[in-house]
Structure 1
Amino acid sequence: MATRELHVDGTGLASAGAVAGDDAVVGDGVVRTRLGWVLDPGDVRIVVDGLDGLDGLDLAATDFHRGGWNSWSPTGWAPLDESPLRIWGDDERRLTADDAANDTPDRHEGNGVGALRLADGRVLLLGALGLGTPRVGGAARSLWGTVETDDGDGWFLGLGPEEAVFTRYAELLRDRLGAPTAPPVSTLWCSWYSSYEDIDEGLIADAAAGLGDLPVDVVQVDDGWEEIVGDWVAGDRFPSGMAATAATIAARGSRPGLWLAPLICLPGSRTATEHPEWLVQDPAGGPLVAGYNWDSHYAALDTTHPEVQEHLDTVIRTVVSWGFRYLKLDFLYAGALPGLRHRDVPRERAYREALERIRVAAGPDVYLLGCGAPMLPSVGLLDGVRVGPDTASDWAPPGSVADPSHEGGRNGAAASLARLWMRGLYQVDPDVAFFRSRDTTMTAEQRQVGVDLARVSGFRSTSDPVAWLDDTEQAALRRFLTGEPQVERTGPDRFVVDGRTVDFAPVVREARLGRERLTEARG
């Protein structure tokens, strides 16, 4: 497939009639739309011509915005003269937290969408409008898009102010791929960051009761309830069954929520041992290694296999029949890894078809939150998506500079801020806010970043048991969970929240300084 080349100058797409009206065909495979142009499918290269920027400035770009493939993938702006924003030095982590098959350590490049910050302050964005595992990269005078498979829906090329251009891109994606269907989440409590896998039905019941009269929309049971990852039945610590736990949560007036990872299984699960033919295969032989966790590797289910499709339908319908109305679907990226499947379809197509099945099996009113989810192929099917790495209970643990997907409050905040534009596609979940001073190394100021980010994003969640909080912390939690924050954006990283100025720029600068040190260390 030949790469198409187009040129941008200070007035727009020079070779495609920039003065034409919106929704007008202005060239071969180019349609003018508000704030940009829609381009036909296929590989494309955008050349940034020299002068003629605003006020006569040279248009050469200074920074590149990298779109990450899944929830945890490195995402955000990076200077073009520094190391690319990516996961350095950890191949196993890259397999889990980015599109390892297309990793490019020698250039600034990411998945789905990319943008250049031009010298005159405007942003030039190139974003895919469909599937095909699209990649977008950038340099000082060029922006390019490639597709792994030719089953996409073309590109949006936008030029203008950053927020306006990203918002317009979201509108076009939503028009093509659809919108959420379940009632949105206002507030949520989950078990993960307080108890991790060490949970049982008594702990969940006590935590739900401990919330008292706090207005918590969803109470979600996280990992640890299941027998083993891959076999989605209650383990020994939930002897009454999961329907009983769902009923306990519903009795306090909250939507019951449940964590599961329906597209993966551990090697010791019955799913893997009894049905090896259900697993995506590695071209080199044997089941594909989809990632590493739980002190093991794990496999990916081949969702093109008819028996796996029936299995998925059964799993989702069963957990919904227990009474759960919010499903946190984790490690979803495994459904879109390259490998050998029963049916030879493009990998992002296989993933989206699996998500469509899950959506139908769950029903339109069950809230589906994706975690580790491929961002663009999930649009229109997931109601919410995690948009950054785990916050954990530390701000910047060792390794979090070389690995922007590494857990930690700073990495979680930086990635989530870069994806706030996705609020036009689904609810964006920046992960939990911390109010407790115990079992965390974060300072009060660092914890406040997470609290403010939750208010700005519109997805307020926590994992703090009320019993762990002193009186001041309990009061702060109550303020967090009540009311509807009034948020106004006043700059790229600056907001006014309920009349108070919130500036996230220091967090973004701190993350950038870490990358600068990495660039220096690499020479």
Structure 2
Amino acid sequence: MMNLKYGAIVFSVDQGGNLGFRCGNVVVTGCRPELIIDDARVVSDVRICRTEDGIRLEGLAFQGNWMLDIRAAETPSGHKGIALQMEVRLASCARAFSFAPFAGGNVRLEHYLGSGRAGGHAESIVFPALKRRFISYYAAMLSRGGDHLYCAAPLSGAALPEFHGESGELLTGFSLRFSFLHETLTNVDSGNILILGGDDPFTLMEEYAGISCTRRPDFSTPPACGWNSWDYYRWTITEEEVLANADFIAHDPVLARRIRRIVIDDGWQYCYGEWEANPLFPHGMEYLARELTKMGFEPGLWFAPILAEPQSRIAQKETQMLGMSEGGQPCLAFECMRRNAFILDPTRQEVCNWISALFDRYAAMGYRYFKLDFMQRVLNIRKFHNPTIPRADLQRRIIEAAAHGIAGRAQLLGCNYLFASGNGAVDQVRIGADIHARWDHICQNAVSIAANWHLNRILWWNDPDFALARTVCNHRDPELNRLRAHVVYVEPDDPLTPDKDRALVTMEPAQAEVLLSLVLVSGGVCNLSDKLPALEESELAMLYRILQAEPGGAGRPLDLFSAEIPSLWHQKTQHGNRLLFINWGDESATRFLEPGQFGICSRKAHDFWSDEYFSPVPKMLTIAPRSCRLLEFPYI
């Protein structure tokens, strides 16, 4: 048995090449390095030796060899841990292969936290749990008994790092895997994988975010608040409605001071791939940019730059620009809400040139903000023109082409953005899935906002998705729930399926306060997306509150490593602190309030939503079902 200890991490290798690592109460056992070629596990002759700074395992087989180095490592701030780096050399190119620095681990946990591949779909699992297999990406936090073990792979590696596992009484099959498909690569490596540990998981996450930076953005000025057309209008948006909302903002004494950006989302274009105004925008997009600029706003526009619907000219006439199927033909690799599209092939230079020209043209019209959507769908393609370009680089090529086109004239928001592309060109990134004015959506998005809190103001500005205020109590808007977006999923032979005809607005006012509180304490971007002239006064008042609130840093979800959905958040501002208590349940809850345990010394508190002041601070809080209490504590 060979052991390597550094900091809180102990790594072990036995004579058979089995791996184990631990941090206090978190003990991972039964792992092995693994190489799989065309779905077959390679049986390797494993050799183990000491090196000057650690342990090396080598796997030898006629299909290919691998080498795993295990060594002591320190982060730039001095946090000690273990680094793994696995290199693979194949004897010949393979259709598909994957390798794992460790695979098949078992560990008894209280909580598992993993990131989604792009915004949304984070994994937050309380153990013991229902038995199911899952995949998370980039980094994984394993927690038990006050100890935390953090496995973090590089964001800008040769492949997307995938953490696989199966929940149950304990976590089984815990693996870190890198996969390749139709890539003519024979020599690849994992980059430095960090295994860190300790009793302060928040610092570990911040360390990882800092290490992942490829540039250091300036976060001294908070991002502009905006209005976006999508959540209320979806594909029904018109030039008239955009200008009506802009005019309402311009003449509202609060909104006019706070909302600086108007973004026209999906629905303005003829179709995906044909980026010209449709008849609902009769004067064209240059006219609209000019009008919004005259009103004092920064115009923004939505694109899905890699998509081309079948009726687009690029799909009809330039099929060489399209990504291919397993058999090498252009294929409809994208589907969303029953809209199908081809995906452009970013390994072709003509595609990158086309994207650059597209964004150059719209930046020249005066658009100063672009929302780039469906970015991760580029991985749906099976074959690309140039197989020597790693799949992990595909999105990066698209983003860099757009950035080249705008040439510093506009900001970029990555939506459905693969975090693996890093922060080299994007200014903001959507960290959650699509939000709607529904309680179930709020619950789902809260996990992703929490899981990605540490990226805010380190890699980019986090976008938690829309700040919505319209509720089922709105009686001013006769079209509040007229859109029935999900009926597209009803098939001719389906029985009555209420879920496929569900309303987009079901939240109560107290639930809207939860959503808006999460947007505020996230410390990121704030974008409205209601039909503002149709809001009730009480709904507008909720928006006024968060728009006029003092901005703060990235709020920490304090029970992130013990709860399925975090219910306690702490945010620091220039003039004090905020504590957000959320009751996700259907019964009233009582929470003990001890600000001192969060380093808050103030004897006074202000209830953000009720406007009630407390002095002294109460010892207990009662929180109604599906609601929250957001308390502000000024510095003494």
TM-score range with shorter-chain normalisation?
Answer: 0.7 to 0.9
Once the two structures are superposed, the pairs formed by residues 238-277 of structure 1 within 5 Å of their partners are: 238-277=281-320
Q: Normalized against structure 1, the TM-score is what?
A: 0.79
Which letter does structure 2 place at the counterpart of 1:386? R
User: Could you say which residue in structure 2 is the equivalent of 1:133?
Assistant: 160
The alignment yields a C-alpha RMSD, in angstroms, of: 3.1
Q: 2:418 aligns with which of 371, 374, 382?
A: 374
Larger deviation: 32-41 or 164-173?
Answer: 32-41
Once the two structures are superposed, the pairs formed by residues 59-458 of structure 1 within 5 Å of their partners are: 60-72=108-120, 74-83=121-130, 107-117=133-143, 119-129=144-154, 130-131=156-157, 132-138=159-165, 140=171, 143-149=174-180, 150=188, 152-160=190-198, 161-174=200-213, 177-180=214-217, 185-212=223-250, 213-293=256-336, 295-344=338-387, 345-364=389-408, 366-396=410-440, 408-423=441-456, 424-437=458-471, 438=474, 439=480, 440-457=505-522, 458=524
CA distance in 1 between partners of 2:54 and 2:583 (Å): 40
Which letter does structure 2 place at the counterpart of 1:495? W
Q: 1:5 aligns with which of 6, 19, 41?
A: 19
Q: 1:45 aligns with which of 93, 98, 102?
A: 102
Relative distance call for 1:276 and 1:44 in structure 2 (3 A) is same
CA distance in 2 between partners of 1:123 and 1:180 (Å): 29
Relative distance call for 1:368 and 1:179 in structure 2 (3 A) is farther
> What is the deviation of 1:341?
0.9
Residue 475 (structure 1) aligned with residue 541 (structure 2): yes
Q: Secondary structure at the match of 2:506?
A: coil
CA distance in 1 between partners of 2:325 and 2:227 (Å): 38
CA distance in 2 between partners of 1:3 and 1:217 (Å): 59
Q: Is the 8 A contact 2:238 2:268 kept in 1?
A: yes
> What is the deviation of 1:351?
2.0
Relative distance call for 1:152 and 1:322 in structure 2 (3 A) is farther
Query: How far does the alpha carbon of each residue in 1:378-414 deviate from its partner, in whole angstroms, 9 at most, with x for none?
Result: 4332211111111112222xxxxxxxxxxx2221222
Which letter does structure 2 place at the counterpart of 1:485? P
Larger deviation: 183-192 or 480-489?
Answer: 480-489
Structure 1 unmatched runs, 5+: 15-23, 50-58, 85-105, 397-407, 510-523
Larger deviation: 331-340 or 177-186?
Answer: 177-186
Q: Is the 8 A contact 2:104 2:172 kept in 1?
A: yes
User: Could you say which residue in structure 2 is the equivalent of 1:94?
Assistant: none
Relative distance call for 1:508 and 1:321 in structure 2 (3 A) is farther
Q: Is the 8 A contact 2:343 2:381 kept in 1?
A: no
Say which structure is richer in helix. Answer: 1
Query: How far does the alpha carbon of each residue in 1:465-503 deviate from its partner, in whole angstroms, 9 at most, with x for none?
Result: 331122222222222222423466472342356755312
Query: How far does the alpha carbon of each residue in 1:205-257 deviate from its partner, in whole angstroms, 9 at most, with x for none?
Result: 11111102241132111111111111111122222221221122222332211
CA distance in 1 between partners of 2:421 and 2:247 (Å): 38
CA distance in 2 between partners of 1:327 and 1:151 (Å): 34
Q: Is the 8 A contact 1:369 1:385 kept in 2?
A: yes
CA distance in 2 between partners of 1:218 and 1:508 (Å): 37
Q: Among the aligned pairs, what percent are the same residue?
A: 23
Which letter does structure 2 place at the counterpart of 1:111? Y
CA distance in 1 between partners of 2:118 and 2:212 (Å): 17
Q: Secondary structure at the match of 1:211?
A: helix
> What is the deviation of 1:152?
4.4
Q: Does 1 or 2 have the higher relative contact order (CA < 8 Å, sep 6+)?
A: 1
CA distance in 1 between partners of 2:360 and 2:222 (Å): 21
Q: 1:502 aligns with which of 580, 586, 606?
A: 580
> What is the deviation of 1:448?
1.1
CA distance in 1 between partners of 2:83 and 2:401 (Å): 30
The structure with the larger Rg is 2
Query: How far does the alpha carbon of each residue in 1:337-373 deviate from its partner, in whole angstroms, 9 at most, with x for none?
Result: 3411110122111221222222222234521111111
CA distance in 2 between partners of 1:283 and 1:495 (Å): 47
CA distance in 1 between partners of 2:449 and 2:577 (Å): 22
Q: Is the 8 A contact 2:422 2:459 kept in 1?
A: no
Q: Is the 8 A contact 1:7 1:46 kept in 2?
A: no
Relative distance call for 1:499 and 1:9 in structure 2 (3 A) is closer
Which letter does structure 2 place at the counterpart of 1:110? S
Which letter does structure 2 place at the counterpart of 1:461? N
Say which structure is richer in strand. Answer: 2
Which letter does structure 1 place at the counterpart of 2:235? E
Q: Is the 8 A contact 2:309 2:342 kept in 1?
A: yes
